[in-house]
Amino acid sequence: MELSKLAMLASHGGACRRPRRRVAGMTLVEVLMALLIVGLVFGSIIQGYIISGKMTEWSGYSLAAQSMGVQVLEQVRSATWDPTLNKCEVTNMPMLGSSLQYSTGSVWTNYSGYVTNIMDVPWHGNGYVVVTNFINFRVVSFASNTNVQLIMARIDTVWPFNDWGKYQARVYTNTVSTYLAPDNPDSSTLGR
């Protein structure tokens, strides 16, 4: 038997030919489609990270603007207002473009203005963000009892955000409001 193998090898040039098997492989079209799918998946993941980063930055700006509005609101709440003594420190806030409206005599009904400040967000160079707080005070009286008065304080904090990939900044507004009761340490003047 070995002799027949040797004879076979000699007759075929020393190499034994076996039948060829088809090797399974990928065509060029299949490779390109796989690369396209992988590129789309990774591109979507990277785009998700970019959008997530921009939303995080926007949330930081919004929180800083809200903090600026609350800061002004705390200044308003710490002011003294006693109508029985005709004392109102609310109108003494340092505001730009302020206007004081009177209804009758020396009783004011509306006081508004604005203040600007630098927002408390990380910045570099001269790229700081200026925030504007529009402040409005309005005296609220009740028709059933004119001795009861409240001041409604509303602070609108306007701030720009320029990182949505556009050339022009969008302007956003955060609003904080509260009611203030008079500071009345003398209980004998209540209900007059």
The pLDDT tens digits for 95-116 are 777 777 766 555 567 888 888 8
Beta carbons within 8 Å of 63's beta carbon, 6+ residues apart: none
Phi, psi of 130 (to 5 degrees): -95, 130
The low-confidence residues of the chain, meaning pLDDT below 50, are 192
H-only helix segments in the chain = 2-11, 28-78
Angstrom distances, CA of residue 18 to CA of 4, 13, 68, 78, 115: 16, 14, 84, 98, 91
| pLDDT score of 46 | 96
* pLDDT at residue 86 in the model: 66
Q: Provide the pLDDT for residue 25.
A: 77
pLDDT of residue 103: 62
159 neighbors 172 (Cβ within 8 angstroms): yes
Encoding tokens for residue 142?
Answer: 């009740």
178: phi then psi, degrees, rounded to nearest 5: -160, 165
Check residue 1 and give its pLDDT: 52
